[in-house]
Structure 1
Amino acid sequence: MSFKNIVRELKEMTDSIGSVSRRRGVEGKQWRNCTRSHIAPDLPQMDDTAESRWAHLPPELLLDIIRRVEESETSWPARTVVVHCASVCKPWRDVTKEIVKTPEECGRLTFPISLKQPGPRDAPIQCYIKRDRATSTFRLYFGLTPSEDESDKLLLAAKRTRKATSTGFVISLVADDFSRASSTYVGKLRSNFLGTKFSIYDSQPPNDEAFQANHSRSSRRFHTKQVSPRLPACNYNIATISYELNVLRTRGPRRMNCSLHYIPISSIQEGGTAPTPKCFPQENLPVSSSSTSLTSSSLSVKENDHLVLKNKSPRWHEQLQCWCLNFKGRVTVASVKNFQLVASVGSSDNVSDAEQNKVILQFGKIGQDIFTMDYRYPISAYQAFAICLSSFDTKPACE
């Protein structure tokens, strides 16, 4: 059997398995979510009858097949074949997870956990955000610009909620389920009363080794008896975004700072590393009634040592009479929301000029309710998306 025929049969088999799982209540709902977004929660357990044909391939042949698939399918939507390989059975999933590298190493997004892992160091991962004013939702897609054939790949979705004293955004892996008790929930963003300070919360610790008790860094999402015991019941405060007050209405764009509590400033230096989670907690972490106190305090970075991002200062263009930044063609519409974030370092930090001037996150408008988002190491797609969401909130005290 040729290599292409194997891939074709893989697609047909996973489609047939999907039709079976759709008749399984909750599991069927989870599979339907997977068909909407290639990056989605883990697939339901499959029947032994469906596994029998493929589960017993020689390990060397299985490794060679999946490696060739992973190397040949480098972009979406063709990269769905890699996800199909991981959904065949447990042996295939284990080998696929072993072969697929992190975004830092390969510059690609494959599994859901890729959204929590830092981006590549050399070139940014380019995405765009669609805003739906009617439903107050925001969708993050992978790619340069929206496609005409509706083959856009959904990465994350957020829904804005307004309260009397704050504004919040609930972030999910899918665009039709924003429940914090769902397995698709990944985190949230919450503002203060003035909209000048935002806190980013993650549904999991910054990496797989951070499971120490500290109530000051985590908050309860819901009562642990309300959901499956395999779902994590905490939110971890991983970053704080601050917008500088501008009560005098002086001329100039917004000024913002983003403190990343668990990313050391050494991560942007040569040889430095940032926390990189390997899997979601529900995959291997049983959560008990004491789970509301789990946090990553053991790996927290001292206040003076964690990474702080600041917006890159624009220049005033006399002829155009506006503030300008070089977005390298990725932003085409002037907006107060546009920004570029670079590392904020002190004189004592051993960071080269090139790293200080490197844009870590870029966000800007290209059309009506369409914005580009480009990010790189050491932040993840989830962190970048949450930071960009803060720009959508109204800030009367900052502009």
Structure 2
Amino acid sequence: MSFKSIVREMKDGIGSFSRRRVEGKHWRSCTRSHIVPDVAPLEPITEGRWAHLPPELLLDIIRRVEESETSWPARTVVVYCASVCKPWRDVTKEIVKTPEECGRLTFPISLKQPGPRDSPIQCYIKRDRATSTFRLYFGLTPSEDESDKLLLAAKKTRRATSTEFLISLVADDFSRASSTYVGKLRSNFLGTKFTMYDSQPPSNDAFQANHSCSSRRFHTKQVSPRLPACNYNIASITYELNVLRTRGPRRINCSMHYIPISSMQEGGTAPTPKSFPQEKLPLSSSPSVKEKSLPGSVCSDALVLKNKSPRWHEQLQCWCLNFKGRVTVASVKNFQLVASVDSSYNVSEAEQNKVILQFGKIGQDIFTMDYRYPLSAYQAFAICLSSFDTKPACE
């Protein structure tokens, strides 16, 4: 019997999971995408025979599983371990490191954590024009058996004065009142400026200090009391006016409000949330408040990303960038982002030239997305979504 089968047997022995009434929908969604929700159940569940293994043995088992399963889909075994029972989940969360440390994605919260410093995490985006949806998958390219790892999904909605991309953990629920809602991207009328909103603060400390000051889109009685119905302004994206119109490349500037420039220095750190917020918010008589930033939390020296300037190829008569084989189709949407750092900051030239986010077309409605520290998968996905909106002032 394989270890995966044994873990499944353990999972079946802990009793019925149906008592998690509030989390039921989220559990089903995460089963499809192979990610376990990083929230605690509201009701106690019946523990089975596998819940009382000696701590030393349990720690050794899960550590060996973590070391042996390094990539998807085999890495689902690590998620199965976390699904067995609470002791197994606590030990698994203790052993599994952040993407910055291990370069792997496991639990949903890892999508909000900075990527690895050395090598990028490689993903791809599939666009569905008929439904105006975009799906982010983990992997180099789409597989034939459709067993790819779904990370995030977004739905594009046009409004009278703006365009919104609602981003969710699943591909069939984009409600902002849902526990799967993770944030949104909103454009201005011309499609040249975008605001990135997150459903949670950039770090757990920020939430503890400012949860009562956050903006609220729904009355708290409308949603789960463990999940704040908030939108935090975490970044802004600007597309500069292009005097050459379609004959010239796009010029992009991304201001990451909560990522300091010091994060690019040796020994620097970027905000890293450890879990999804579970605190209850105070009731509000107002069901809707405009989105805003956390008071006193925006960095005075926020990191700014700019697109890497392409070179003009005389023979091909086009603008070119070295995507190292990850982009194969010419498109105005293709770009590479690097850090825009002033010489007064002690940031090495190698770090300044390092591509933090790379996005480009490889087929009909298929695009690659490679990101690294200090961006998270969610932030990188939101930046890439901005390229799909119409920009009459730039093109």
- How would you bin the TM-score normalised by the shorter chain? over 0.9
**1:287 aligns to 2:281 (yes or no):** yes
**1:53 aligns to 2:53 (yes or no):** no
- Tell me which of 214, 221, 238 is aligned to 1:225: 221
The match for 1:300 is 298
**1:83 aligns to 2:79 (yes or no):** yes
| Contact 1:156/1:172 (8 A) holds in 2 | yes
- Alpha-carbon distance in 2 for matches of 1:391, 1:341: 13
- Tell me which of 311, 315, 318 is aligned to 2:311: 315
- Alpha-carbon distance in 1 for matches of 2:72, 2:211: 40
- Tell me which of 351, 356, 378 is aligned to 1:382: 378
Q: Could you list the runs of 5+ residues in structure 1 that have no partner in the other structure?
A: none
Q: Against the structure 1 CA distance between its residues 210 and 168, is the aligned structure 2 distance closer, same or farther, given a 3 Å change threshold?
A: same
- Alpha-carbon distance in 1 for matches of 2:58, 2:327: 44
Q: Deviations over 1:228-265 (max 9, x none)?
A: 22220211000000000125638410001000000001
SS in 2 for 1:61: helix
The match for 1:143 is 139
- Alpha-carbon distance in 1 for matches of 2:74, 2:198: 30
| Contact 2:127/2:135 (8 A) holds in 1 | yes
SS in 2 for 1:55: helix
| Contact 1:234/1:294 (8 A) holds in 2 | no
| Contact 2:211/2:281 (8 A) holds in 1 | no
- Alpha-carbon distance in 2 for matches of 1:388, 1:341: 11
The match for 2:67 is 71
1:348 Cα deviation after fit:
1.3
| Contact 2:13/2:49 (8 A) holds in 1 | no
1:70 Cα deviation after fit:
0.5
The match for 1:363 is 359
Q: Could you list the runs of 5+ residues in structure 2 that have no partner in the other structure?
A: none
| Contact 2:38/2:275 (8 A) holds in 1 | no
TM-score, normalised by the number of residues in structure 2:
0.93
1:25 Cα deviation after fit:
5.7
| Contact 2:179/2:224 (8 A) holds in 1 | no
Q: Deviations over 1:317-362 (max 9, x none)?
A: 0000100000000000000000000000112122111111000000
| Alignment RMSD (CA, Å) | 2.3
SS in 2 for 1:242: strand
Q: Against the structure 1 CA distance between its residues 5 and 53, is the aligned structure 2 distance closer, same or farther, given a 3 Å change threshold?
A: farther
Q: Deviations over 1:119-154 (max 9, x none)?
A: 000000000000000000000000000001111000
The match for 2:182 is 186
What percentage of residue pairs aligned between the two structures are identical? 83
| Contact 2:242/2:248 (8 A) holds in 1 | no
**1:203 aligns to 2:163 (yes or no):** no
**Which amino acid counterpart does residue 298 of structure 2 have in structure 1?**
S
Q: Against the structure 1 CA distance between its residues 250 and 368, is the aligned structure 2 distance closer, same or farther, given a 3 Å change threshold?
A: closer
Q: Deviations over 1:166-222 (max 9, x none)?
A: 00000000000000001100000000000000000000000000034499x953221
TM-score, normalised by the number of residues in structure 1:
0.92
SS in 2 for 1:201: strand
The match for 1:271 is 267
- Alpha-carbon distance in 2 for matches of 1:157, 1:195: 21
The match for 1:346 is 342
- Tell me which of 80, 93, 103 is aligned to 2:99: 103
Bigger Cα displacement from structure 2, 57-66 vs 288-297: 288-297
1:33-44 equivalence runs, <5 A: 33-42=29-38
Q: Deviations over 1:100-120 (max 9, x none)?
A: 000000000000000000000
Q: Against the structure 1 CA distance between its residues 145 and 379, is the aligned structure 2 distance closer, same or farther, given a 3 Å change threshold?
A: same
Q: Deviations over 1:280-329 (max 9, x none)?
A: 003xx222226979964344210xx1100000000000000100000000
